[in-house]
Structure 1
């Protein structure tokens, strides 16, 4: 971020270069910091108020750069980029590490019986549905009926995948591969959960903008691209913990002490998942730019009617348009 005495602070500046992966990783590590979960509503509201006052050139005298920077951190982590509304704590990306740690640890620990497998897949998909809804494109709201159908379909997909894989692997493989049932179910359910929770974006399209943030039109292709990237990022987010820990546990259980002290397995896997997620949440979020780009030639080829509407509404249609892909 370029800031010097006499210049104005830019709340839209992402601080680190978002054209590079390292820059995106640093930014998302900054706003997904799990410690932000402990910041109270009063402090969050004060941060939003300071931001509003500053943008109106009415900030309190003596406001420092550090205060503005912290206000930006709180605002970017807790308020929806489309609406400016405060997001529920459990749906924020800063809650992904503690929430995901507990649920993933439980899924990896209790998968041997069908009731336990189904229960924790249901808990996980309920959590994912809430996160997906919270981080959707808010300009494409879901009806209560659509929301309920999406939730039921996603949780059913996770449970059916988990039970089907478990029954198949029990008959044909050893215990190690059975440990991967939770990950396979999570990956399959993400491919269902996220598109369903954001189905209106696919149906109606999302707003696309030129490089100066002027709205150019809407595009369903943009929605599909953004949602596809989010699906990949979410699977990548949980992959290291859910694919490496089964191997680690298999090796550790060859140790007599570890094998006989079953009480230690769940806490160990839970803390290990937390360690993975602490790194993987920003690592996965940063794989693709938040401000996603799309060539208008692609829109012209796949959505000719939408492209023609852009031509009618704008004197000049840019070669590339941008949109918020969500998280």
Structure 2
């Protein structure tokens, strides 16, 4: 007879030690696995039921620990950690590699003309707006006006940066022009993410004790979370937008590529995808998903509240978002 699965497995936390970079990397290789995009609604729903039932102490007969962890990671790939809502498909972290490899590959291929720069920066920021909204921290709603402002500011910032740098690189070696998309994307991330999560900056995000008990809302925690996400996003873009241009600059001089110029875009997209498969999870792992900060670094009124209700607590935790 098979032994019934223990109820002591903590699936509220990742399977691997998140205090180490290696543990976080293993976790995010699972979360960002592009194959999860192909999972059916039925599979996602079965994973949700398995996870939610286990949390209630209900174990499906015959369920193994490996199957439980698999269900947990399928659940995490599609449902928001704070709201529990199913996330829009292209906003999920598992869609990052296929979506970004296509968009980034095209940005790096079609960078020479102004209309192409405008179009692909617009596509990229539209995608980023969806991702940033989908993976925001906390459970506070965001208005359409706030969404619109973030979208317009980020898109404008990316286009202005791209066109400005494009004009400056006219007299520089051709390879310099290939790095314009990266500079534009980096600038846009610094605008898009804070704007998309401006409500968190204004009203704060939930902070908890080590056991997950909610202690209040903190704007200071939101600032730390957003800075960490911006750094991670820019880090993701570095390999995908810095390595392929160098390789393509060399390949385009070869007779084979000159004979078949239509291969330029597919090869560039493939190179970007190869970089993103590793860069996406590794850069997500730069900072713990369950981030922390000292109580002494919180807002004075929240510090006072925590010290009155829980004087033994000196560190709070929060979901930094992705």
Deviation at 1:72, TM superposition (A): 0.7
Contact 1:229/1:288 (8 A) holds in 2? yes
| CA–CA distance in structure 2, aligned partners of residues 60 and 20 of structure 1 | 32
Q: Is the 8 A contact 1:9 1:68 kept in 2?
A: no
- Tell me, yes or no, if structure 1 residue 234 matches structure 2 residue 207: no
Q: How does 1:1-327 map to 2 (within 5 A)?
A: 6=6, 8-170=8-170, 172-299=171-298, 303-312=299-308, 314-316=309-311, 318-327=313-322
> How many angstroms does 1:4 deviate by?
9.6
How far has the Cα of 1:140 moved from its partner? 2.5
CA spacing shift, 1:214–1:57, aligned 2, 3 Å: closer
Provide closer, same or farther for how the CA distance between residues 160 and 6 of structure 1 changes in structure 2, counting only shifts above 3 A.
Answer: closer
Rounded Cα–Cα distance in structure 1 between residues aligned with 2:191 and 2:37: 28
Partners in 2 of 1:306 and 1:196 — Cα distance? Answer: 24
Shift of 1:244: 1.4
The 2-side partners of 1:18 and 1:4 are apart by 28
How far off its partner does 1:260 sit?
Answer: 3.5
- For the residues of structure 2 that align with 1:135 and 1:101, how far apart are their CA atoms? 19
Which moved further from structure 2: 130-139 or 101-110? 130-139
Q: Which runs of 5+ in 1 are unaligned?
A: none
What TM-score comes out, normalization by structure 2 length?
0.95
| 1:178-198 residue CA offsets vs partner (Å, 9 max, x unmatched) | 111100000000000000000
- Give the Cα separation in 1 of the matches to 2:6 and 2:213: 28
CA distance in 2, matches of 1:264, 1:204: 49
Distance in 1 (alpha carbons) for counterparts of 2:173 and 2:237: 23
Shift of 1:51: 1.6
Contact 1:310 1:317 in 2 (8 A): no
User: In the aligned structure 2, how far is the partner of 1:261 from the partner of 1:127?
Assistant: 30
Aligned pair count reads: 320
Q: Provide the C-alpha distance between the structure 1 equivalents of 2:188 and 2:138, rounded to a whole number of angstroms.
A: 22
Q: Mean Cα displacement is larger for which, 142-151 or 108-117?
A: 142-151
Provide runs of 4+ in structure 1 moved above 6 Å: none
Looking at structure 1, the residues matched to 253 and 61 of structure 2 have their Cα atoms a distance apart, in angstroms, of 65
* Greater mean deviation of Cα atoms: 203-212 or 250-259: 250-259
Q: Distance in 1 between matches of 2:188 and 2:6?
A: 51
8 Å Cα contact 1:237/1:281 also seen in 2: yes
d(CA) in 2 for partners of 1:281, 1:189: 18
More off after superposition, 260-269 vs 224-233? 260-269
CA contact (8 A) 1:18 1:289 kept: yes
Q: Is the 8 A contact 2:15 2:69 kept in 1?
A: no
Distance 1:267 1:315, change over 3 A: closer
**RMSD over aligned Cα atoms:** 1.7
Q: How far 1:305 sits from its partner (Å)? A: 3.2
Distance 2:165 2:113 in 1: 13
C-alpha distance 297-9 of structure 1, shift in aligned 2 (>3 A): closer
